[in-house]
Structure formats: C-alpha cells, structure tokens
Amino acid sequence: MLQAQDIRKSYGRGAARFDALKGVSLTVHAGESVAIVGKSGSGKSTLMHLLALLDSPDEGVLLVEGSNAADLKPKEINRLRNEDFGFVFQQFFLTPNASVLDNVVLPLKIAGVPPRERRERGMAALAQLELADKAKSKAVNLSGGQKQRVVIARALVGSPKVIFADEPTGNLDTVTGGLVEDILFDLNKRGITLVIVTHDVELAARCDRQIFLRDGLEEHRPTITTGSAS
Amino acid sequence: MNFVDVLRTAVANSFRSKLRTTLTVVAIFIGAFTLTITSAIGTGISSYIDTQIASIGASDVLQISKAPEDQGAAADNGPAEYDPNAATSGGGFPGGGAGLSFAMLTDKDVDTIAGTAGILDVNPVVSVSPSYIEYGGNGKYELSVNATSAVTKPDLAAGVQLSSDADTNQILLPTSYLENLGFGDAESAVGETVTIGIPDYQAKMHEVEATVVGVQNESLFGSGAGLGQRLTDALVAVQDTGKPAGPGRTYFAATAHIDSNASQEQIDAIKADLAADGYRGQTVSDQIGTIETVISGIVGVLNAFAVIALIAAGFGIINTLLMSVQERTREIGLMKAMGMSGGKIYALFSAEAVFIGFLGSAIGALVAIGVGSLISGALASTLLADLEGLQIMQFAPGPVALIIGVVMLIAFLAGTLPARRAARQNPIDALRYE
Ligand SMILES: Nc1ncnc2c1ncn2[C@@H]1O[C@H](COP(=O)(O)OP(=O)(O)OP(=O)(O)O)[C@@H](O)[C@H]1O
Ligand SMILES: [Mg+2]
C-alpha cells in the first residue's frame, strides 16, 4: 500500500542543516499495523509525515499503491489526504470554540458531503467512541482523554484506508491510554491500516511490526510481541 | 468543501474575533456612509436642477449680453482706448464715469441682434421698480419682480404661464404672496385683478391693473412676481414719464426667442454668429450648466474624501485578515492535511474579506439612507423650504448598489494578499507553528 525507498529528509541549510532522515526504506501493507518507534528527535514524525504525503522527501521514492507520490497531481494528493488517510495528531489540533461535532465532521465538510449526511456520519463516529452526549459541547471544554477520542473520531469519520497516529497515547494516563489503544486496534481488526508513531514500547508491541529509528536511520531489531497482544 | 460551506465558514470565521471584525467594519462603514451621502446629494441636486430645467423648458430663449472680451485685454495690455460711442453702465452715477466697464447694450445693438439669422424676436431686459401690489382693498404690500420671468417657465401651482403675445397685463404671483394679499388658495387667485403702484420719474405714484394668470412655486430662479411683456412695457412707460430726454437707453441684457425646435447645432451656430458680432448668447441650460458644474465639482471632492476613507479601510481589511491568517495557521495546516485545496483556502479568506466589506458597506449605506432621509426631510421643510421640490439627498437603488459593490471589490482586492499567504502554507510548517 505504502512503500518508502531510501528516503532522506533534511531541514535547514548550510551550517544549520540537519539530516532528520538519512535513508529509510519500509513497506506498509494494507490491513497491518505498523509502529514507528524511537527516541525523541530520531525522525519518527518526519517519517510519518512523508508517508502521509504531508511533506515530500528530498531524496528517495515514495510509492502510494504503486504510483510515485512525486508524480501525483495536487488534486489527487488532496483526495488521498481527504478520503484515504485519517490523521491523529499528537497535539489534537481541535478548533477550541467549535462544537465537538463540527470538529469531527471537518474532513466530510472538506470533501463536500451535504450537511445532513455529515451530521449522521459524525454522530455515528462519536457514538463509536462513546462521545455522542458531548456532540454539542465546545471542544475546549473536554478532558484530555475525551479530546483524544474526538481526534480519533475525526480520523475515522471519513472511513479512511489508513490511519496515521502520532503519539496517540503520549499525553494520557495509562487507563485512558489503554482505552484509546483498544479503539485503534479494534479499527485495525475491521481492516483499517494503522501507522502509529510512539515511544511507548508496550503500544509498539501490540502492533504487527515495529520500525526502530535512531538518528534518522532504521535500526534492525527483532520484532517484539507481548503475550497479552490481541 | 462546497460553495455554501465556504461562505458559511467564512461568515462564521469573521465573527470569531468580534472586536477586530467590528473595528474593520467601522472603518468601512465610515467610507461607505460618506460615499452614500455624497452620491445622494449629487443625485438630489442634479435631479432638482433637471426638473427646474425641464419646468423652464425654455430652450427657445437666449439671454444675450455684450461679450466681456475687453476685460481680459485690459488686464494684459493696460486700459483699452477710449471710445466715446461705447455705452457703459455707471455713466449715470456721480463719479462713476467709465470706471465701471460693464458693457451695456444700446438700441443699435438690439437691432443688430434682431438681424442675426435664427433670432425670432429680441426684448431688452429692463428693470422696473414697482412700489406695491394690492388686491381687493386688503392692503398694500411690497412687490419684488423676477427679472428673468420673460425667459423662464416656472413650476406652477395653478393657472397658466405668461404668454409673450397676450393683449392683457399679465402677472404670475409667487405662492408666498397669496396669504398677505388675501387669496384663500392658489386656484382662487387665478383670473383676479390686482393693482400695482409705481412711481414716475418725479416720484408721483401711478396705478396699473394686472390680471393674475398663474401662481408659481418658489424656485431657484428668482422669487419675485413674473410680469408679462405687455405689463412690463406699461410699467416702463409710467416709470419713464417726465424723464428728460437723454442719450438713448441702454440695457444690461436682452432676451431673444429662437425656434423652439432648433437643434443643438443650430443653437451653436446662432451663438457663434452672435459671438462674431461681439455678443454672448446663453440658453438657460448653459447658465444652469455652470451651476451644475460647480455643484458636481463639490460633490466630486466629497466623493474623493470618501474614497480615501475606503482605501484606508482596505488596509484595515488587509491587517485584519493577516492577523486571522496568523492566528489560524494551525487550522489552515489542519485543513490542508485533510485534503483541502489551496484554492478553497484562498476562497475561504477572500469570502471573509468580501463579507466584512459587505457588512461595512451595507450597514453604512442603510444608516446613510436613514439619517440622510431624516436630515433631507427636515431641511426641505426648514432651511430649504424656499426651494420647493428640493430634496437635498436622494437615494437611488442603482448608486447605492454600486457603492456596496465597489466596497466589496475593494475588500476582495485587500483580501488577496492574506488569502494567498494562507493558501500557500505547507501543512507541516503550519502544524508545527506555535
Ligand atoms: N522544520 C524543521 N526545521 C528544522 N529541524 C527540524 C524541523 N522539523 C524537525 N526537525 C528536526 O528533525 C529531527 C526529527 O524530528 P521529528 O519531529 O521527526 O522527531 P521525532 O522522532 O518525532 O521526535 P519526538 O518523539 O520528540 O516527537 C529533530 O531533531 C528536529 O529537531
Ligand atoms: Mg514527533
């Protein structure tokens, strides 16, 4: 589904130049769950953004369902971002003064889905995350765990093929974190591909596969699994 | 995102920062308000002048005077050579002499003008100074005469216009005379006979009778009573009784009739012929045209100020939107990450600019219409009551719509820069923005 071949990305120029990715290759197959693990600053988010077509690599090739991302037209890239991908950002990025429902249906609104259908699908997604009663609340008034669930609802409302989640449990307590994890793996069971960036080893262990990053390079370690994994 | 959603989101976004939007709207409001008022004044005055011209309808009358060509020459080349045959006003005043060099028309000039092709008849403008007017023993009142009554066809409240070939003494009374003279209303005055008192050269009072043919509304062009040609002649005859024989009479101006179907080219040709003989002929619309030019000049200056206010407001819009773009950097990044195209983002911010422009200009225009109508109505019954039919401000839908449209266009142009900046943002940079 997604394939990266020796991709490199650097930020800044001259003396300030920093190589965030120094040649990473990986493949994400449809329906699997992949964890990108590494220390802070190792380039995990950079790699995820490249895979999600939010940014383009300086070197190397990125294939989306077999076609080179560099050759895709802006319109096609926008369609992929809107329909095929769902995003869970580390910092939520909710519009604070808009209602929870409005926040959740943003991808549908961008897609041009009519208001009625938008409402229905938004409510369904919220119900799935047990947040239907909060639909009319302002996003700013939610607790951290509720916000995280809203962000997941927003990621899945457009029925994407892939969900990219950057530190989805990073700022949650263990109980709520576990809840969010369950939701994500539940989605994975229903066929949605997961790409999860995390530094949490336990979360990484629940994924089918891990990619370890260190200073912009892939480190080859044996795949870890936990006995309790579903 | 479809069109309706873009609009709805833009409107909602503009209300998100209420204070900032309000201040920008106020700036636009001021410009739009001023522009609406000034354009209404322009419309009001020119429509008043148009109805005045239309009511005069005297396209067949030329007002003729000596062309003031000597004056320019005097300034450039020193005094002109003395000509004992040239008639000038002021000759009759003690010590006045030739110093007052306003060229007068002599009887000979009148004959020359009458001989010009296209001129049907010429009447010198004479000034008559009657002392009083009286009706039915109701008391004597001062009478002022409208010197241009022969050339104008004023707006009538009742009766008919003066006719140039009537065989009775005709008079047109202004509406303001009715009450004092003892007439109940305009209709009842028509056909009645009034008595006019006028002194002769030796200050002996004589009385002349005249028939009221009509009652005129107050207008721009003199507010006195209009006298028919025959009545004027009769009054002049009384006035000149006992006057010692002098050196021929002189006149400030003469009025001439031309063919009422004459085209503009024909009128121009007559004017050119007159100019060649040293006379200046002006139709009533020429004279009014000068007033109109002055007024539209003033209105133009006011409009220019309003446009400057709008341009300043345009920078206000740029500033407001740049701040919005800055504030919403993350949101823009998020929308782009979710597949919103740059074009739609551009449309979103442009729509917000246009909406702010619409808000300011629509409120400005509405308030201007409300306030302007009140002021205009109040003025029409107080300060400008003497100019019947003058609504100083007239709000026509066309100009108001045009103003709103232009302001929205200015707002759109002002929004271009911020909107472009928003549209070009890279989703990742925008999301990283703190
Ligand atoms: N826009 C940028 N300009 C300069 N340097 C950048 C930029 N974005 C990322 N970097 C650098 O690239 C490196 C990798 O960043 P990245 O965000 O991918 O790290 P990460 O693995 O996600 O870390 P964390 O776990 O803390 O989120 C970091 O050292 C960071 O400082
Ligand atoms: Mg990161």
ipTM, 2 dp: 0.90
Element (H, E) at A217: strand A217-219
CATH of residue A220: 3.40.50.300
Q: Can you read off the two tokens belonging to residue B81?
A: 């050579």
Domain presence at residue A187: yes
Does residue B427 sit at the A interface (CB-CB below 8 Å)? yes
The tally of domains found in chain A comes to: 1
pLDDT digits (tens, 9 = 90+) for B339-384: 999 999 999 999 999 999 999 999 999 999 999 999 888 888 887 7
* Triad B6, B7, B8: Cα angle to 5°: 95
A97 Cβ under 8 Å from any chain B Cβ: yes
Q: Looking at the domain assignment, is residue A136 inside a domain?
A: yes
Distance between CA atoms of residues B358 and B409, nearest Å: 9
Instruction: Tell me how close the Cα of A230 comes to any Cα of chain B, in angstroms.
Output: 30
In this prediction, residue B96 carries a pLDDT of 40
- How far, in Å, is the centroid of ligand 1 from the Cα of A149? 25
Instruction: Answer yes or no: is A218 within a domain.
Output: yes
Answer yes or no: is the C-beta of A33 below 6 A from any ligand 1 atom. no
What pLDDT does residue B76 have? 53
Residue B337 contacts A, CB cutoff 8 Å: yes
Q: Is the CB of A214 under 6 A from ligand 1?
A: no
C-alpha to C-alpha distance for B66 and B85, rounded to whole angstroms: 14
Q: What is the pLDDT of residues B222-267, one digit of tens each?
A: 568 888 888 888 888 888 887 776 666 778 788 887 877 777 788 8
Give one DSSP letter per residue of B155-208, joined into a string.
Answer: PEEEE----TT-SS-EEEEEGGGHHHHT-SSHHHHTT-EEEEEEE-TTS-EEEE
| Contact of B102 with B90, CB cutoff 8 Å | yes
DSSP structure class, residue B224:
S
**Is A57 within the bounds of a domain?**
no
Is the distance from CB of A2 to CB of A36 less than 8 angstroms?
Answer: no
> Is residue A61 assigned to a domain?
no
Cβ distance of B16 and A87 shorter than 8 Å: no
Q: Which residue has a Cα nearest atom 27 of ligand 1?
A: A40
Asked whether A45 lines ligand 1 (CB < 6 A), one says yes
Residue A178 within a domain: yes
- Residues A6-22: what's their mean pLDDT? 90
Q: Which residues are bridge partners to A165 per DSSP?
A: A88, A196
pTM of the model as a whole: 0.70
Q: Would you say residue A21 lies in a domain? A: no
Q: What is the pLDDT of residue A197?
A: 94
CA torsion, points B70, B75, B81, B82, in degrees to nearest 10? 70
Residue A109 lies in a domain: yes
Range of the domain at A210: 35-41+74-229
Question: B335 and A78 in contact by Cβ < 8 A?
Answer: no
pLDDT in tens, B105-162: 888 888 888 888 788 888 887 778 888 998 888 888 888 887 766 666 777 888 888 8
Residue A175: CB atoms within 10 Å: 8
